[in-house]
Amino acid sequence: MNKPPLTLYLAAPRGFCAGVDRAIKIVEMAIEKWGAPVYVRHEIVHNKFVVDSLRDLGAVFVEELDECPDDRPVIFSAHGVPKAVPAAAAKREMIYVDATCPLVSKVHIEAQRHADNGLQMIMIGHAGHPETVGTMGQLPDGEVLLVETVEDVATVQVRDPEQLAFVTQTTLSVDDTIDIVAALNARFPKIVGPHKEDICYATTNRQESVKAIAPKCDAILVVGAPNSSNSKRLVEVGARAGCAYSQLVQRATDIDWRALDGIKTMGITAGASAPEVLINEVIDAFRDKYDVTVELVETAKENVEFKVPRVLREPA
């Protein structure tokens, strides 16, 4: 049977970032060092395939620290945790390893530094996302004000408009955040913030690469999880950059083939917590149905690598 031709634009960079890579290594090395089970507070990264693979090695995923026994090691996820969490683990004399991405830790340090300088903090982020909860939890309850939209900026109640600073979640939409930061600067001209925002290199690069492929594509699939903030942003960026059909899929079985009927060009990318094996699975599914020509569209090169904590580099 003759398969219809399909040009598949493969975005690069895509998939795993340095923070995700490090967090997964931390769990693997902890199991190697201390044996199973090793407890992990929250999904180490937002990807079911990754979580299931680590569970097979002996990781036990829980949502809260009080679900962990005192005598087993616990790892905190890449998204970061409120200060109260490591404090509670230390009080219980547990072994704990913090897999918070260093770029999230950098935001935690910024928030603390501004508070030490007497500034009230505003966080631009998504309510309830573990990274937002972790960053807001660096300061006492109620000290950090959350804004999610430009509209929120108009109504946020601050102590003193002259004594303010802001930080952002690392996985936001770059374009939306520019607008929110502009609204903050317009309402509070003295507000102190990072040079641009705290959005990380991986989020920025993945959004740029989707923008590059979107105008050429009849459809875009983003491989990623529904609870992955950066993956959901990629879907939005793809749609806004001119692709009529931009969808999230966790794996090849999620592809809605009927919706793709008649396409000639396809874009594929993946969120920072999606492994390459799932991207290849999706590409293979297209090869089964189409005569595929893959074109790599590379908009940046990445060579970022983060070291695992020293405790895992030392012998047991």
202 binds ligand SF4 (CB under 6 A): yes
Per CB under 6 A, the list member of 85, 200, 266, 312 interacting with ligand SF4 is 200
Catalytic residue, candidates 93, 131, 276, 302? 131
Annotation says 131 is catalytic: yes
Nearer to ligand SF4, 37 or 102 (CB): 102
- Ordered alpha helix ranges (H), 161-275: 174-187, 201-213, 229-240
20 binds ligand SF4 (CB under 6 A): yes
Query: In terms of Cα–Cα distance, which of 3, 14, 5 is closest to 218?
Result: 5
203 binds ligand SF4 (CB under 6 A): yes
Window 272 to 291, contacts with ligand SF4 (CB under 6 A): 272
Q: Minimum distance between the CB of residue 198 and ligand SF4, rounded to whole angstroms?
A: 9
Which residues sit opposite 293 in a β-bridge?
Answer: 7
Q: Could you give the string, one character per residue 208-247, with x where binding to ligand SF4 holds by CB under 6 A and - elsewhere? A: ----------------------x-----------------
Backbone angles phi, psi at 310, to 5 degrees: -55, -40
CA-CA distances (angstroms) from residue 307 to 102, 121, 210? 9, 30, 28
87: buried, middle or exposed (CB in 10 Å: 19+, 13-18, 0-12)? exposed
The CB-side HSE value for 22 (13 A sphere, CA atoms) comes to: 24
Residue 129 CA to residue 228 CA, distance in Å, equals 9
Nearer to ligand SF4, 188 or 233 (CB): 233
Q: How many residues bind ligand SF4 (CB under 6 A)?
A: 15
DSSP 218: S
SS3 of residue 259 by DSSP? coil
- Angle between the 229-240 and 201-213 helix axes, to the nearest 10 degrees? 30
Are the C-beta atoms of residues 138 and 84 closer than 8 Å to each other?
no
Q: Could you give the string, one character per residue 46-85, with x where binding to ligand SF4 holds by CB under 6 A and - elsewhere? A: --------------------------------x-------
Per CB under 6 A, the list member of 18, 26, 119, 139 interacting with ligand SF4 is 18
Cis peptide before 309 (omega within 30 of 0): no
101 binds ligand SF4 (CB under 6 A): yes
Nearer to ligand SF4, 230 or 265 (CB): 230
| Closest residue to ligand SF4 in the complex (CB) | 19
Residue 229 CA to residue 131 CA, distance in Å, equals 10
Stretch that binds ligand SF4, among 82-90, 195-203, 260-268, 284-292 (CB under 6 A): 195-203
Q: Minimum distance between the CB of residue 101 and ligand SF4, rounded to whole angstroms?
A: 3
Q: Minimum distance between the CB of residue 85 and ligand SF4, rounded to whole angstroms?
A: 18
Identity (one letter) of the amino acid at 75?
A: I
By the criterion CB under 6 A, which residues form the site for ligand SF4? 17-20, 78, 101, 103-104, 170-171, 200, 202-203, 230, 272
- Residues acting as catalytic residues: 131
